[in-house]
Amino acid sequence: MFGDALLRELILTYALALVLIVALARLRIPPVVALIATGAIAGPGGIRIVPTQEDVQLLAEIGIVLLLFTVGLDFSLGDFRRVWRRVIGAGVLQIGVTAAIIVGVVLVVTDRPFPMALFAGLFVALSSTAIVLKELGGRNQLDAPHGRLVVGILLFQDLCVVALLLLVPILSGQTPLNAVPLAVGRALLAMAAVFLVSRFALPLLLGAVARSGRREAFSLAVVVASVGTGWISSLFGTSMALGAFLGGLCLAESEFSHQAHAEIRPIRDLLASLFFVSLGMLLDGAFLLQHWPMVAAMTVFILLLKAGAATAALRLVATPPRVAVAAALALSQVGEFSFVFGRSGVEAGLVSASDWQTLLAASIATMVVTPVMIGAAPGISRRLTSDRGAELAPDAIPQLSGHVVVLGYGIGGQLVGRALTEFGVRYLVLELNGSAVRAAREKGESIFFGDATSPDALSAAGVERARAVVLVLSDPDASMLAVRTARTLAPDVPIIVRARYRKEADRLVEMGATMAVAEEFEASLEVLTQLLSRLQVPDNAVDVLLERFRRPTPGSRPIGGVRRLEELSADLGELPIATYEVTDQAWAAGRTLADLDLRARTGALIIAVRRGDQSLPSPPPETRIEPGDLLYLMGSAADITRARERISSSVPA
C-alpha cells in the first residue's frame, strides 16, 4: 500500500537523519547540512530509501510554511528599531553589491541570460539566520558589537525573502512585464487579506481557545493559523510561504507569540526537516564527483565575495573596521532561505539542472565551514585591521594622569561613570558605538570614540598613567584582547573586568586582569542571598557562606569590598581586609580605638588608619578617630560587617 510505503520511507529517513545529526555534531557541522546530506544519501541518487522526491514533497511544503510562520513570530520589531538605520543601509548594500558582482561574473564568464544571473546573485546574497545565531550564541557574541549588527542584517534579509518570492515569476517570464502591475496588485491584496486576518481574526481565535484551557486546542489553533494564512495567500496566486511569514509577523507583537512558537516548534522542526531532506535529494552524486573542483572554487569565491561585499557595505555606513570584518565573516555563507527562494526558481525553470547542482553544492559547503569562519572571525579581524582601527588621536583628549579608563559604555560603563563622578574621580571612556558616544558627549560625559583593543587608542587614553582600567565590554574576545593590550602597556595598573561566565573570568585573570567579576557567578550568589534572607538565615551566617563560595575563584569579588592583603604586600598572605571611611555622623568619630574595642566586640582588627596623606600602621589604642579617616579592617566577612555596624551606629553593639 502507498501509505505503508510512505511510512517506511519516513521512518528510515528520520532514523538516518538522527544518526547523521548526532555524528556530525562532533565536527560542529550544522543540523541543516546533516539533513541535506540525509536527502542525498536516502534519495533517488543514493541508496533509494525514498525512490522519488514527490513522496515527501507535500509534507516538506507544509514544513516550510510552518518554518516561515515561526520566523515571522521570532521577528523582533524592537530589536530592529534599535539598529534599523545602519542595518537597512548595510543590508541593502550587502545584498546589492553581492548580487551585482555575481550578475557581472555570470554574464561575462558564461552565456547565461540576465534573469538567471540575477537569480543566482540574489540566491547567494542571503545568509543563514539559523546557523549564525546558533554559533554566535554559543560563543557569547550575540551582544557584541558585531553580533548585534549581524542579527539586524539577518532580520533584514528575512524580510527580503518576501520580495524575492514575489520576484521569481517575473524573472522566469511566467508573469509578463505588462502583467507585473496586476501581479503586484494581487500580491498587495493577498498581503492585505493576510494582515487583516492575522491582526484581527487570529488574536480573537487564539484568545477564545486560550480561555478554554485546552492546550491541545491551542496547538491545533496555531497550526490552523500558520497553514491557514498560507492558504489565504495562495488563493490570490502568491506563495503559501509568503502568507505564513506575514501571518507570523502580525502575531509577533501579540500576547500569544511566545506560546504559539512553543506549541508549533516541534511540528515545525519535524516537517521543515523534510524540506532540507528533499533538497538533498536533488543532489547528484555523480555530478559532484565529476565537477568537484568547480564546486570547491565556487565555494571559495562565494565566501570571499560575501565577506568582501559585507565589509565594504558596513564600512560605508561608518562601522569600525574590526567590527565590520568580524560581522562580514559571520555573513559569508549562503542561508537556508536561499533554498526556499532557489526551490521556487527551479520550479519556475529559472536555472538549469547542472547550474542548480553547482549552486546547491557550493552553498552547502559554505554552511559547513560557517562554524570555523565565525570562530576565526575575531582573530582575522584583528590582524586585518591592526593598523586601521578606530583609534584615538593623541591630541583628541586631555593628557590625564591618576584617572580611571573605562572601556565600554553600556549599562555597566554608565554605572561606573556615575559612581566615579559622585566620588570626584576623574575618568574617560572609550566606546565603539558612535551614536552612544555622541549622545553621551551631549550630556557632558568624558567619552571618546575608540577601539578598546587598539594599543594606540589605549595609549592615547593614558592607561600607563591611570589609577585603574575598567572593562565592561559585551564582546568576550575583545575583552581578552583589551586586557592583554592594556597589561602590556601598563604592567602595574589594576585592571578590573566584567565577564559573563566563571571560566571566562578565570581566563581573563590568567591573561593579566587584576580582577574579573563573573556575571554568572555573582548573580547566582545574589539569588542565593535573597533566598537565604527569606528563609530568615542570619546575615552573618550568609556572609560567611558566600565568602567561602567565593574563595576558590581567583577573579571573583570578595564580599562587601573585601580585598586580599596580597594586593598590599606579598608577605602578608591572603587575609581579607576592607576599608571604612569615617563620616561626621559615625559613632566612632572622636573616640579612641580603646573606646571602640573592636577586637573584643566584633572580632575584627584595625590594622592601619589613613588620615589625609599620612598612614598610621598598627595604631595604638589611644589613637583618636577623626571624621574622614580611612580605617583598614582585617577579619572574616562577618567580623568586618559587625565592625562596620559598630563604627557607624549611634547605639554601638
Q: Could you tell me the pLDDT band of residue 559, with boundaries at 50, 70 and 90? A: very low
**pLDDT recorded at residue 427:** 93
422 vs 379, more confident? 422
Statement: residue 396 has pLDDT above 70? no
Which amino acid makes up residue 623? T
Decide if domain 394-550 falls under CATH 3.40.50.720.
Answer: yes
CA distances from 332 to 55, 238, 437 (A): 34, 30, 29
**pLDDT recorded at residue 503:** 86
Q: What is the per-residue pLDDT across 574-608, written as a single tens digit (0 to 9) for each?
A: 556 788 888 888 898 999 998 888 888 888 899 99
In the chain, residues under CATH classification 3.40.50.720 are: 394-550
3-class SS string, 264-317: HHHHHHHHHHHHHHHHHCCCCHHHHHHHHHHHHHHHHHHHHHHHHHHHHHHHHC
Q: Could you tell me the pLDDT band of residue 83, with boundaries at 50, 70 and 90? A: low
Most confident of 137-151, 209-223, 320-334, 339-353: 320-334
In the chain, residues under CATH classification 1.20.1530.20 are: 2-382
Q: What is the per-residue pLDDT across 44-57, written as a single tens digit (0 to 9) for each?
A: 878 888 877 666 66
CA distances from 15 to 38, 42, 63, 393, 582 (A): 10, 11, 18, 61, 71
- Other Cβ atoms within 10 Å of 43 Cβ, number: 27
**pLDDT recorded at residue 429:** 92
Tell me the Cα Rg of the chain. Answer: 31
3-class SS string, 20-35: HHHHHHCCCCCHHHHH
Statement: residue 102 has pLDDT above 90? yes
Q: Which fold has domain 2-382?
A: Na+/H+ antiporter like fold (1.20.1530)
86 vs 323, more confident? 323
Q: Could you tell me the pLDDT band of residue 562, with boundaries at 50, 70 and 90? A: very low
Q: What is the per-residue pLDDT across 158-200, written as a single tens digit (0 to 9) for each?
A: 778 777 877 888 887 777 766 667 767 777 787 788 778 877 8
Statement: residue 564 has pLDDT above 50? no
- Asked which of 73-77, 429-433, 479-483, 536-540 is least confident by mean pLDDT, the reply is 73-77
Classify 581 as helix, strand or coil. Answer: strand
Burial call 374-404: b when 16+ CB within 10 Å, e when fewer:
bbebbebbbebbeeebbbbeeeebeebeebb
Which amino acid makes up residue 563? R
Question: What does the mean pLDDT of the chain come to?
Answer: 82
pTM for this prediction: 0.70
**pLDDT recorded at residue 437:** 85
Q: Put the strands of the sheet holding 563-564 in their side by side order.
A: 563-564, 576-581, 630-634, 605-611, 614-617
CA atoms within 13 A on the CB side of 321: 17
69 vs 15, more confident? 15
Statement: residue 568 has pLDDT above 80? no
**pLDDT recorded at residue 75:** 66
Decide if domain 559-648 falls under CATH 3.20.20.70.
Answer: no
Check residue 402 and give left, alpha or beta (phi > 0: left; psi -120 to 50: alpha): left
Q: Could you tell me the pLDDT band of residue 417, with boundaries at 50, 70 and 90? A: very high
Give the contacts of 32 (CB within 8 A, at least 6 positions apart): 128, 130, 131, 276, 336, 367
CA distances from 614 to 204, 253, 472, 629, 630 (A): 74, 62, 33, 10, 10
Opening angle at CA 362, ends 357 and 366, nearest 5 = 150
Statement: residue 18 has pLDDT above 70? yes
Percent of the chain with pLDDT over 70: 89
Statement: residue 65 has pLDDT above 90? no
Statement: residue 307 has pLDDT above 90? yes
Q: Are 32 and 72 in contact (CB under 8 A)?
A: no
**Mean pLDDT value of segment 625-631:** 90
Q: Are 445 and 421 in contact (CB under 8 A)?
A: no
Give the contacts of 387 (CB within 8 A, at least 6 positions apart): none
In the chain, residues under CATH classification 3.30.70.1450 are: 559-648
Alpha carbon 29 to its chain centroid, in Å, reads 20
Most confident of 122-126, 255-259, 474-478: 122-126
Q: Are 576 and 641 in contact (CB under 8 A)?
A: no
H or E element: which one contains 431? Answer: strand 427-431
What is the grid cell recorded at 586? Answer: 559615625
Q: Are 324 and 311 in contact (CB under 8 A)?
A: yes
